[in-house]
Structure 1
Amino acid sequence: MGLLELNRLMSMRQRRRHRKIQSRSMSIASPAKRKGSLGQQDDNPQARKRRKYSLPDLPKDIWHDILSLLSLSDVARAGCVSHTFLSSWRSHPNLTLSKETLGLTGNACGQDELAQIFTNGVDCIMKKHSGGLKTFQLNYCGSFSDTSHLNRWLDIAVTPGIEEVKLSMPIGCNAVYYDFPCSVLFSGSGTHSIRRLHLSRCAFHPTAGLGCLTRLHLSQVHITGDELGHLLSNSLAMEELTLHGCDNIIRLKISCLVHRFKCLSVFDCTALQVIENKAPNVCLVRVDGALEERLVGDLSQVKELQMLDYYECGVVHYACSKLPFIMPNLETLGLSSAGEMLSTPILAVKFLYLKKLRIDLNDGQMGGFSPAYDYFSLAYFLDACPVVERFVLSVSQTRVKHELISDGDSNMRQMLGHRHCNLKNVRIMGFCSAKSMVELTCHILENATSLERLTLDAMYDNSSYGDADRSCVGKKGECNPKSRSIIMHARKGLWAIRKYVMEKVPSTVQLSVKKLCKRCHKIK
């Protein structure tokens, strides 16, 4: 929110206050008297100057309400020009402290000096703040060797009414450098109000539960499975847990007492062997790796699953073979695989409720694409999803190893008896000239009777582009760099679209073909 929005809010507050004053007034000045008063003010330059530059005479609580809607940087600027704004700045309910908010980006001083400037700046802000915080976010960039002031800042921040605490230690900081003081959470008044806790690159050893805690995000945090399990079982309002890079957790138990628990995300926890889930209402799971090897318990109630692993091969084959039995009620499924050695099998059991399917095949890490993998076999997956409405296929390949379609090739395979009656939106990124991919696309066009939109992009890129030419969208005025071979494959993919796909698009289907950037995707 900028100064324009601030002026609007000020005007609204003024009008409301003036209406109240007028309605309560018992006498109204005569028109002549008012006119004379105005005339006298107009004749006085100093009065005109005060009327032009002075702030409206509003109660402090109204100013606090207005400024609480502004960003921290805007409030700080306002505090430099007015004592009224300064008092509101010192009671701002949302503090986000980082190098960016303190204006230290691009600073020419050394790391030690930068750390000292950051520490002094945050210390000054925290000492002068009057309390009453709702959210406190600190991206620390001070010295690793001296973190004593962090405890003092947290003591000031975690007061009655606080709802969110987010602490992020610097990248490269080992978790042993800072032990988060659990006393500020479990013995203070903030215990009864904190709802969201996000910790990165520190040690955390909770000894009790947090009654109002709904979201817990731990990234590269030193915590054991027993400590985390004890915290969860005593935080009955918990709804969402995210673990990333927490390498000291070997076994995690989620208690059946946590009835509100809905979302579980676990990534890159290398030592984690088993997650024993007894929470009855988990509906969203995000994991890396195969489910059966790590997650145990009743998962039949799960409605959304994201299996995101760019180092694991065969994720799609695993999903087809196992998931209909483990999670029969899935409505949304996202799969990321480092490559598929085996083609998609015919599914013995269908996903009866699956509406959104996304498959991301990426050989950038493992190079796991087998020339024998058949994109056309994904039609079996679609056939096993009778109510699927949206299908997204993303393929990232450093080189296409499959049989390429050739000019005049008319020997296209078909799957008779397959109908995808509910499929409405299909998007394929990284469309190449592999014959099996062209066959899959033509199969969808011929058998998706409710198809409304087909989007084809010969370049693998998750950025959002318009329907026509790309424009240089990067921060440096250019697209993400691509190798010569990738650009060549993209051009062949566009040729295959024009040659074999466009003629099969029904008039009821909106076709969008993403073109290459005229500037960045030239062959030099």
Structure 2
Amino acid sequence: MPMEDSARAACVSRTFMRSWRHHPYLILSNETLGLIDLILKNHSGTGIKTLKLDVYACSDLNACYLNDWLQIAITPTIESLTLQLPSEYEHEYDFPCSLLFGVNGNLIRHLHLNYCAFRPTVGTGCLISLTKLHLDHVCITGEELGCLLSSSLASMQLKLEYCDEIICLKIPCMLEQLSRLLTVSDCSMLRMIESQAPNLMTLDFDGDNLVQLGQSLQVKNLVMDFFDATNFLNYSVTKLPNMVPNLETLTLFSYFEMLNTPTVVAKFHHLKYLKIYMVGGDPGYDFCSLGSVLDAAPVLETFILCVIQTDMEFDPVFWDASNMRQTPEHKYKSLKNVMIFGFFSDKSLVELTCHILENATSLESIILDTVYAHGDNNSFDRCIIGPARCKCCFLLDAEILKANKGVIAIQKYIAEKVPFDVKLDVRGPCRRQCHTSEP
């Protein structure tokens, strides 16, 4: 029975009220706003395990009411608390930390707060069972977050979004259970992340500004995406081998790459999966310089390059093949799978592909897709790949022309160099021509 109907039934039925007043799962939203006060004040408070209070659209919510509701709901039995408040509460409402610490917080496993200030301090207590913490548009400093994390020894997942007061994020070494994921997104003042958690395996963070990554020996999976960091690829491949030496998977988003990728001195000794998104950048960028990244990853098995540069000028298809560069020989003994999405007829991109074909001695398959869509396998918005879709993504005439030229370049310069035991998958514009129709 919906919560609104349950509350009304409780008002007229004593039997129903007795059962409903001990209901363990309370999920309240704007639709039940007029009844939230009635629902919570008529609840016994006994046995509440989950409280999800979503009042984001209620701009005139009185903080006194909110404090009363939390006082009722946060009891020693609560395990999950989600609080989504109006956006103006981010700088106006201080979450009552005292309600969480002590006996009331002993069983809390999941805490998700939106649009409020959260100010834990040294000595406020601990959340000994907390396994998942998600703070979104929350005013909290790095020191305050450190106080919380140091007392939450069971934490396994941490997600921070738009927490703009954090300058330095330090993950303490006592967080032995923090192993699944650390996600940091759009924290505008963040400048440094240092992790000493011995079992943290995955870091995923993005934002507008470059964030320095302190040495993190234990991290094996890393995703980095900084929109305003020019030449981020250049920075990453020269710094990361020393800062995160045990990486096994790496995904980089590079915007506005103006410099060719330099020779990488240090090695990614354990890197098996590398995915690079290149968005925008210098029309003269030399894709063949990416070979230096492959040189630095001796055990790399999968290489994925996504080129999203629709406004770039590119070399014509019909250049003289005799002018193609012969790059130094580097054997990629472990490389098995190569995928290039958004492939186009840039001479340096053709040269990179040929270089890989000539040096990847264990190569099993190579996908060259001249239409960039979305997803790891470019499987969305393509009817010939995703049969559930009736149309492909819409493309401008210039994009279709560019993709067709890419196919010609593959056929003319690359196809003949593919070893007989390597599977070549060339993907061009849809044969049904549904790219030309608005979805």
Structures share fold, TM-score greater than 0.5: yes
In structure 2, relative to structure 1, the CA distance for the partners of 1:152 and 1:348 (3 Å cut) is same
Q: Distance in 2 between matches of 1:123 and 1:520?
A: 53
In structure 2, relative to structure 1, the CA distance for the partners of 1:409 and 1:169 (3 Å cut) is farther
Query: Whose helix proportion is higher, 1 or 2?
Result: 1
User: Alignment identity in percent?
Assistant: 45
1:375 aligned residue (271, 287, 297): 287
Pairwise mapping of residues 85-484 of structure 1 onto structure 2 (< 5 A)?
Answer: 96-98=27-29, 115=30, 117-120=31-34, 122=36, 132-147=47-62, 148-170=64-86, 172-189=87-104, 191-207=105-121, 208=124, 209-262=126-179, 263-288=181-206, 294-296=212-214, 298-363=215-280, 369-406=281-318, 409-463=321-375, 464-465=378-379, 469=384, 479-484=392-397
Deviation at 1:240, TM superposition (A): 3.0
Deviation at 1:473, TM superposition (A): 7.2
What's the CA shift string for 1:349-405, capped at 9, x where partnerless? 211100111111112xxxxx1133111111121121111111111111132234343
Match for 2:287: what amino acid?
Y
Q: Is the Cα contact below 8 Å between 1:311 and 1:337 reproduced in 2? A: no
* More deviation, 271-280/441-450: 271-280
In structure 2, relative to structure 1, the CA distance for the partners of 1:338 and 1:292 (3 Å cut) is closer
Q: Is the Cα contact below 8 Å between 2:393 and 2:435 reproduced in 1? A: no
Q: Is the Cα contact below 8 Å between 2:23 and 2:48 reproduced in 1? A: yes
In structure 2, relative to structure 1, the CA distance for the partners of 1:470 and 1:91 (3 Å cut) is farther
Deviation at 1:226, TM superposition (A): 2.2
In structure 2, relative to structure 1, the CA distance for the partners of 1:95 and 1:336 (3 Å cut) is farther
Q: Is the Cα contact below 8 Å between 1:419 and 1:447 reproduced in 2? A: yes
Match for 1:493: what amino acid?
G
Q: Kindly tell me the number of residue pairs found equivalent between the two proteins.
A: 423
* More deviation, 433-442/407-416: 407-416
Q: Is the Cα contact below 8 Å between 1:469 and 1:515 reproduced in 2? A: no
Secondary structure of the equivalent of 1:186? coil
Q: Is the Cα contact below 8 Å between 1:376 and 1:440 reproduced in 2? A: yes
Higher relative contact order (CA 8 A, sep 6+): 2
Deviation at 1:286, TM superposition (A): 2.7
Q: Is the Cα contact below 8 Å between 1:316 and 1:344 reproduced in 2? A: yes
* More deviation, 179-188/342-351: 179-188
Q: Distance in 1 between matches of 2:295 and 2:75?
A: 55
Deviation at 1:471, TM superposition (A): 6.5
Deviation at 1:457, TM superposition (A): 2.1
Secondary structure of the equivalent of 2:111? strand
Deviation at 1:523, TM superposition (A): 8.7
Q: Distance in 1 between matches of 2:18 and 2:310?
A: 58
Aligned to 1:8: none
What's the CA shift string for 1:454-475, capped at 9, x where partnerless? 222222222452887266978x
The runs of 5 or more residues in structure 2 that have no matched partner are: none
What's the CA shift string for 1:35-56, capped at 9, x where partnerless? xxxxxxxxxxxxxxxxxxxxxx
In structure 2, relative to structure 1, the CA distance for the partners of 1:499 and 1:461 (3 Å cut) is same
What's the CA shift string for 1:195-214, capped at 9, x where partnerless? 22122222212243311112
In structure 2, relative to structure 1, the CA distance for the partners of 1:277 and 1:123 (3 Å cut) is same
Deviation at 1:145, TM superposition (A): 2.0
Match for 1:168: what amino acid?
Q
Secondary structure of the equivalent of 2:266? coil
Q: Distance in 1 between matches of 2:356 and 2:19?
A: 60
Secondary structure of the equivalent of 1:259? coil
| Greater Rg by CA | 1
* More deviation, 276-285/394-403: 276-285
Q: Distance in 1 between matches of 2:434 and 2:80?
A: 43
Match for 1:203: what amino acid?
A
Q: Is the Cα contact below 8 Å between 1:236 and 1:258 reproduced in 2? A: yes
Q: Distance in 2 between matches of 1:516 and 1:73?
A: 49
Q: Is the Cα contact below 8 Å between 1:484 and 1:523 reproduced in 2? A: no
Q: Distance in 2 between matches of 1:156 and 1:519?
A: 60
The runs of 5 or more residues in structure 1 that have no matched partner are: 1-71, 99-114, 364-368
Q: Is the Cα contact below 8 Å between 2:171 and 2:197 reproduced in 1? A: yes
What's the CA shift string for 1:157-197, capped at 9, x where partnerless? 43444433222235x545024332323311453x1111221
Match for 1:510: what amino acid?
K
When the two chains are superposed, the root-mean-square deviation of aligned CA atoms in Å is 3.7
Q: Distance in 1 between matches of 2:321 and 2:171?
A: 56
Secondary structure of the equivalent of 1:220? strand
Structure 2 length normalisation: TM-score?
Answer: 0.82
Structure 1 length normalisation: TM-score?
Answer: 0.70
Q: Is the Cα contact below 8 Å between 1:223 and 1:246 reproduced in 2? A: yes
